[in-house]
Amino acid sequence: MSSNDILRKQLKHVIAALETWAKEMAPWAKIELGPLNGAWRISAVPHAPTACPFEIVIRPDRKFDINVGGEIYEDQPFDALTDIPQMVRSIANGRVLIRRWRGQATGILYSTETLIDLPGTDEGHFRRPNPDAPSIEGVEVEAEVEAFAPYRR
């Protein structure tokens, strides 16, 4: 079996798991899913204002883009393709933490990291430095933390 066949088979199982999740969560969030310009997309906007919205686009180039709580991480490798349904469940269960690292004296944003709790793996850890920030050398930084509630209440 070729690697493309294996990927298609994995993707089929992932999509089936996400479709099942979407049906279960429909009372708690507005969910959209399906093909999008050769890719496959799922997005959820929870009805609870303190829960975390997300969008994941699984691309045909073996990468995915994810928007979690307004933080965007593009070109993520497919290594964790089978973790995507678990990632979605963790987000819906409120197991997301966003840390924005700012200079203590200036308030300048140096980096943003999003942690989606996936037991036994670090696949749910995304980090993005601010390319416009000056050198962090010698700067005291502090974390501005944002946590989220579960979709179901």
Q: For 17-47, what is the HEC assignment? A: HHHHHHHHHCCCEEEEEEEECCEEEEEEEEC
Average pLDDT in the 52-62 region?
92
Q: How many CA atoms lie within 13 Å of 78's alpha carbon, on the beta-carbon side? A: 15
Section 143-147 average pLDDT? 96
Lookup result for tokens 């393709």:
81
**pLDDT, position 10:** 82
* Number of residues in the chain: 153
Q: Is the pLDDT of residue 131 over 60?
A: yes
Q: Are 41 and 56 in contact (CB under 8 A)?
A: yes
User: What's the gap between Cα 142 and its chain centre?
Assistant: 23
Tell me the mean pLDDT in the region 64-91.
Answer: 88
Residue predicted with more confidence, 51 or 84: 51
Percent of the chain with pLDDT over 90: 69
- Give the mean model confidence (pLDDT) for residues 87-106: 95
Q: Taking the domains of the chain in order of start, what are their residue ranges?
A: 3-147
